[in-house]
Amino acid sequence: MAEYNGVMVFGEAKEGKLAVITTELLGCGRRLASELGQELSCLLVGSDVGGLAQEAISFGADKVYVVSDPLLKNYQTDTYVLVTEKVAKQGMPKVLLLGHTALGRDLAPRLAFRLGTALTTDCVELAIDPDSKSLLMTKPVYGGNAQASFASESLPQIATVRTKAMSPLERDDSRQGEIITIEAGLDPSSLRTEFLERVVAEVEGIRLEDAEVVVAGGRGIGSAEGFEQLEELAKILKGAVGASRPPCDNGWVPPGYQVGLTGKIIAPDLYIAVAISGASQHITGCSGAKTIVAINKDPESNIFREASFGVVGDWKKVLPAFTAKVKELLAD
């Protein structure tokens, strides 16, 4: 029987290119594969993904498995688990990495249970133990209030990795690799779910995850109208507006604004947190920011433990004055 060997990355496509998370996984996978002295492969699944194989090689893969089938056009649990199971059994990777995305969160646990192995989700750090050569997987737990490192003896060792936790390699189009095409071999009658439609939330202006400046509001903003003041500051700073969970749950802003553990993980240059108390579940989404600025009336609130600069005061008084001064400074 063949031995488990190497690192495999499950690749995702976005707008006809490799998703950023996939380039990050390839960067991390390359490092782990080198430490193991083994190869890095990438699995691409979809209806027409063969064109991305060279891109995966340019970002570090030695080998790319391509499974293209019209039935794989949209992500569905049943088809994607079957195909990934098939390739994992053929390629027999020792380590299998997926993004902690809507797709990875759904696919990875079922896959791990089906393969009879274990999984650690939402990892921010992966390392090979120098003695045992097994994978050490570190993830935030308790909403970010602590971190835990896990190991698993069953193979393959599967992990989903948080976005922006790893760095991609510099793209190198001269890299060579092997491309292997695998038949999906799906039986449409075995599908227990049906994909009906996809609804993409419309975003005006800069996308939250791409913005260099984010102005975010919390429960203390109190209303949808309050967020208009945040929009004004964001516009001046050419940034985007974000929120902690309560404003999203209360419908003051769309769900796509949510920054945090169950929302978006972002890493802007500047994050201005207005009336956000700074629960760990929220901080986990913005701690990658270069500079955090806090405006909060409670000097004891946790956000001041995370921020570099802060003002203690009622945002209704502080924010308009701050916005006016910033506008004045930027006009000079």
Question: Binders of another protein among 190-249, rule CB under 8 A?
Answer: 192-201, 213, 237, 245, 248-249
Per CB under 8 A, the list member of 136, 166, 173, 184 interacting with another protein is 136
- On whether the CB atoms of residues 291 and 308 are closer than 8 A, the answer is yes
Q: Which of 265, 290, 231 is nearest to 100 (CA)?
A: 265
Per CB under 8 A, the list member of 28, 57, 261, 266 interacting with another protein is 261
269 near another protein (CB under 8 A): yes
331 near another protein (CB under 8 A): no
Per CB under 8 A, the list member of 27, 50, 109, 222 interacting with another protein is 109
Three-state SS string over 110-143 comes to HHHHHCCCCEEEEECEEEECCCCCCEEEEEEEHH
How many residues contact another protein, by CB under 8 A? Answer: 91
Phi, psi for 152 (deg, rounded to 5): -140, 140
| Rounded (10°) angle between helices 77-91 and 102-114 | 60
314 near another protein (CB under 8 A): yes
288 near another protein (CB under 8 A): no
Rounded CA separation 166/149 (Å): 17
- Identify which range of 44-52, 64-72, 171-179, 314-322 contacts another protein by CB under 8 A: 314-322
Q: Which two tokens stand for residue 319?
A: 């924010």
325 near another protein (CB under 8 A): yes
* Least Cβ distance, residue 276 to another protein (angstroms): 13
- Identify which range of 31-39, 166-174, 179-187, 188-196 contacts another protein by CB under 8 A: 188-196
Per CB under 8 A, the list member of 9, 82, 118, 215 interacting with another protein is 118
For the chain, the C-alpha Rg in angstroms (whole number) is 22
Report how far Cα 301 is from the mean position of its chain's Cα atoms: 27
2 near another protein (CB under 8 A): no
Q: Which of residues 66 and 155 has its CB atom nearest to another protein in the complex?
A: 155
Rounded CA separation 259/263 (Å): 5
276 near another protein (CB under 8 A): no
* Least Cβ distance, residue 32 to another protein (angstroms): 17
| Residue in this structure with the two tokens 């996978």, named with its chain if needed | 29
**203: number of Cβ within 10 Å:** 14
Q: Which of residues 105 and 175 has its CB atom nearest to another protein in the complex?
A: 105
Q: Which of 216, 212, 209 is nearest to 277 (CA)?
A: 216
Residues 3-42 binding another protein (CB under 8 A) are none
H-run or E-run covering 10: strand 7-11
Rounded CA separation 219/202 (Å): 24
Q: Which of residues 175 and 219 has its CB atom nearest to another protein in the complex?
A: 219
Rounded CA separation 214/216 (Å): 6
Q: Which of residues 141 and 224 has its CB atom nearest to another protein in the complex?
A: 141
307 near another protein (CB under 8 A): yes
Sign for the pseudo-dihedral over CA of 221, 222, 225, 227: positive
Q: Which of residues 17 and 172 has its CB atom nearest to another protein in the complex?
A: 17
Rounded CA separation 232/101 (Å): 31
Residues 64-93 binding another protein (CB under 8 A) are 74, 76-78
308 near another protein (CB under 8 A): yes
Per CB under 8 A, the list member of 154, 167, 181, 223 interacting with another protein is 154
* Least Cβ distance, residue 255 to another protein (angstroms): 5
